[in-house]
A = this chain, B = another copy of it.
Amino acid sequence: MARVMFMRTAAVHRALISPVWWAHSSGARAQRMRTFSALMSPPSKAVVYDQEGSPDSVTRVVEVPPVEVKEKDVCVRMLAAPINPSDINRIQGVYPVRPPVPAVGGYEGVGEVHSVGPAVTGLSPGDWVIPFPPSIGTWQSYIVKEQSVWHKVDKETPPEYAATVIVNPLTALRMLEDFVTLNSGDSIVQNGATSIVGQCITQIAKFRGIHSINIIRDRPGSDEAKEMLKRLGADEVFTESQLEVKNLKSLLTNVPEPALGFNCVGGNSASMVLKFLRQGGTMVTYGGMSKKPVTVSTSSFIFKELSLRGFWLQKWLTSEKSKESKEMIDYLLCLAREGKLKYEMELVPFDNFHTALDKALGKLGSQPKQVLKF
């Protein structure tokens, strides 16, 4: 733990969403010199961007000097943090809620407690924690934040699952819980089923005795994708072209008509989800991979009594819902430890950030989710 005389306040570092100090002259910094020593974080490395734009051109890895660890602060050495599509969208400037620039990239991750302020209780060096609610700036080697924003997790958890549990698995579980009451024997339908959220939905549904009808794109490798989903517990897997039939529901043999559907694609693929739904069913949109809107007939609303909703994880991370969401996270990580919730990821050393970014951007073809390892 470094104790130095030249320092910035932890508050500045904490709010790494606005690290304007990089532009400061050493003279300006010297003015903040203090005459006593303080608990400080180690120096850190962070992926920052000074302006929004193409992530591979606007991001750079910078050295961040130590920051003070105040009374209630916890200094966490990051272990792993994923590159999620929404992280990329924030950097591109197309995500609707974005930090002001300059900013540090990343939104979720897992780390090990490195040091704690004197007023911290319940967390000790060596504990594993995830930021909850997740927040901007997980792509850095050390983070100092107040104790209240860290949620302790079991150290037996594979770190890549602890690092990625919020954006995808929690979305899957919340969507299964929050719209329609499902009972064992019921069914759900989803498109984009090979996405990580899709795989989580299939697996969680399976544990709960809920059948899943899965729609995937027609593409090379769709047979392998079908097999993969079946292994995860999918009851039915169809490519979109298989669904170009007059009576979609005749394809369902041992699976009841679903009351709940999930759409992360839009366009025709969303229409297929709607067609599978039973009278009074609900479709939840959580993504739009095809970049096409959802189109719905009047009679689907009136006579089929369908409801169309949207899911935005952000809403479920507020303090009002946070206790419930933390319990869900603990449950999901338990499943991950038992090998009952799994999805493919690639761990990449932080030093290779730009290679991982290129893969996340799809420049190197289809790739597993990239998880930075610090």
Q: Which residues of A contact B (CB under 8 A)?
A: 96-97, 266, 285-288, 291, 293-312, 315
Contact = CB atoms under 8 A, between A and B. Distances in A.
B308 A307 contact: yes
B315 A305 contact: yes
Contact of A305 (B291, B293, B301, B312): B312
B299 A96 contact: yes
Contacts of A299: 96, 288
B302 A312 contact: yes
A293 to B, nearest CB: 5
A204 to B, nearest CB: 21
A302 B295 contact: no
The 4 closest A-B pairs by CB, nearest first: A288-B298, A301-B310, A285-B301, A308-B308
Contacts of A301: 285, 294, 308-311
Contact of A310 (B97, B285, B302, B312): B302
Contacts of A96: 299, 303
Nearest to A296: B294
Given A296-B294, A301-B294, A307 B306 contact: no
Given A303-B312, A305-B312, A295 B294 contact: yes
A101 to B, nearest CB: 20
A286 B302 CA distance: 6
Contacts of A298: 266, 285, 287-288, 291, 293-294
